[in-house]
């Protein structure tokens, strides 16, 4: 049985008039998708209709339109859907995720705003985050990076220090148990070393990327589409569950306009114990009297940096959204 067949609800449709088959979306670029069939082969696929609401990691039903093209007719129920959004549009990142890997580096300096937003997004969906600090062999800014990350370590977020170029064997040994048997998405700014991590974990990854890029007709723009890779079977399959690594394009912004106020306040783990201490049941934790969160800030138990992020996200969530 192929690795794909194990993970798909394999095979043809069972209804009398159902000519569709199960497939896994392994790449997405606009309304263009590449799906992997139960036998491991790939098809270029399009959604039926104008709306494009499928994501990499989705299990879908596909009907053949030609030898190498298909039409996505349905999306199976999801465990979750990770996306980012601004005031004008929402962008799907990946579906059915177990872990969000946030890749940072000592150089160039990483965006703490993007880190905080990625953590909030993971918390809102109850997805486990893993923070990676790469390029620890570049020591000039290492102490500064560690100082900035201490806040998040103190909140209980796992931080892994790696030097993919300097100590690849150590990095691989640390990553294997954290990625085996789960579906992870890697996110981060450009220049943090995501490509190096991919090459370390998946031998021959560049050839795979070229093949999918050709299927998507995206030419040289291989960094502009989200892609799912199978991690090597010899170590990444756990109890029959394959390990997937989803690579999303590097981005500088991580808008969370789609999160409601209630979702936001619970996505900050240090806020949760304080929410019952507020005097008013509809407290916004901005400037209300008797606010448990504001009291915790005064007591030094909650960081002002984290509260500033919360107030910015709350402001964004109140913007009118056309989508």
Structural contact between residues 85 and 256, judged by C-beta atoms closer than 8 angstroms:
yes
Cα–Cα dist 307/313, whole Å: 10
> Is 223 a known ligand-binding residue?
no
> Is 278 a known ligand-binding residue?
yes
> Is 19 a known ligand-binding residue?
no
Structural contact between residues 185 and 82, judged by C-beta atoms closer than 8 angstroms:
yes
> Is 260 a known ligand-binding residue?
no
CA angle (11, 73, 32) in 5-degree steps: 105
SS3 of residue 285 by DSSP = coil
Structural contact between residues 90 and 323, judged by C-beta atoms closer than 8 angstroms:
yes
Tokens read off for 60: 């879908």
Percent helix, strand and coil across the chain, each rounded to 5? 30, 25, 45
Structural contact between residues 186 and 246, judged by C-beta atoms closer than 8 angstroms:
yes
> Is 91 a known ligand-binding residue?
no
> Is 96 a known ligand-binding residue?
no
CB neighbourhood size of 1 (10 A):
8
Cα–Cα dist 240/236, whole Å: 10
> Is 89 a known ligand-binding residue?
no
Closest CA to 101 of 231, 280, 216, 3: 231
> Is 285 a known ligand-binding residue?
yes
> Is 194 a known ligand-binding residue?
yes
For residue 73, which phi and psi values (nearest 5 degrees)?
-100, -20
> Is 320 a known ligand-binding residue?
no
- Residue that the structure tokens 């504001």 belong to: 294
> Is 308 a known ligand-binding residue?
no
Please give the DSSP secondary-structure letter assigned to residue 36.
E
Binding-site residues for Zn(2+): 278, 283, 285, 291
Binding-site residues for GTP: 134-137, 188-196
Binding-site residues: 134-137, 188-196, 278, 283, 285, 291
């Amino acid at each position: 049985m192929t690795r794909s067949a194990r993970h798909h609800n394999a095979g043809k449709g069972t209804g009398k008039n159902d000519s569709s088959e199960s497939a896994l979306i392994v790449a997405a670029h606009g309304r263009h998708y590449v799906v992997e069939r139960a036998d491991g082969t790939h098809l270029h696929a399009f959604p039926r209709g104008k709306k494009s609401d499928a994501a990499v990691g989705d299990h879908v039903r596909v009907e053949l339109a030609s030898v190498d093209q298909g039409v996505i007719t349905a999306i199976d129920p999801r465990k979750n859907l990770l996306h980012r959004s601004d005031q004008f549009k929402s962008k799907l990142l990946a579906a059915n995720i177990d872990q969000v890997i946030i890749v940072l580096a000592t150089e160039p300096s990483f965006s703490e705003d993007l880190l905080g937003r990625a953590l909030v997004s993971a918390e809102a969906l109850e997805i486990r985050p893993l923070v990676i600090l790469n390029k620890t062999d570049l020591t000039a800014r290492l102490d500064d990076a560690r100082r900035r990350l201490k806040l998040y370590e103190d909140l209980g977020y796992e931080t892994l220090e790696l030097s993919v170029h300097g100590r690849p064997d150590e990095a691989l040994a640390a990553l294997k148990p954290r990625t085996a048997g789960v579906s992870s998405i890697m996110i981060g700014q450009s220049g943090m070393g995501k490509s190096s991590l991919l090459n370390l974990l998946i031998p021959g990854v560049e050839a795979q990327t070229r093949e999918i890029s050709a299927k998507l007709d995206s030419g040289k723009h291989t960094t502009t589409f989200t892609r799912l890779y199978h991690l090597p079977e010899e170590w990444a399959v756990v109890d029959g569950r394959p390990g997937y690594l989803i690579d999303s394009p590097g981005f500088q912004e991580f808008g969370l306009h789609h999160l409601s106020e209630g979702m936001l306040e619970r996505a900050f783990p240090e806020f949760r114990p304080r929410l019952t201490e507020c005097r008013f049941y509809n407290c916004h934790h901005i400037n209300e009297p008797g606010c448990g969160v504001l009291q915790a800030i005064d007591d030094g138990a909650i960081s002002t940096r984290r509260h500033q992020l919360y107030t910015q996200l709350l402001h964004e969530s109140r913007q009118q959204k056309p989508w």
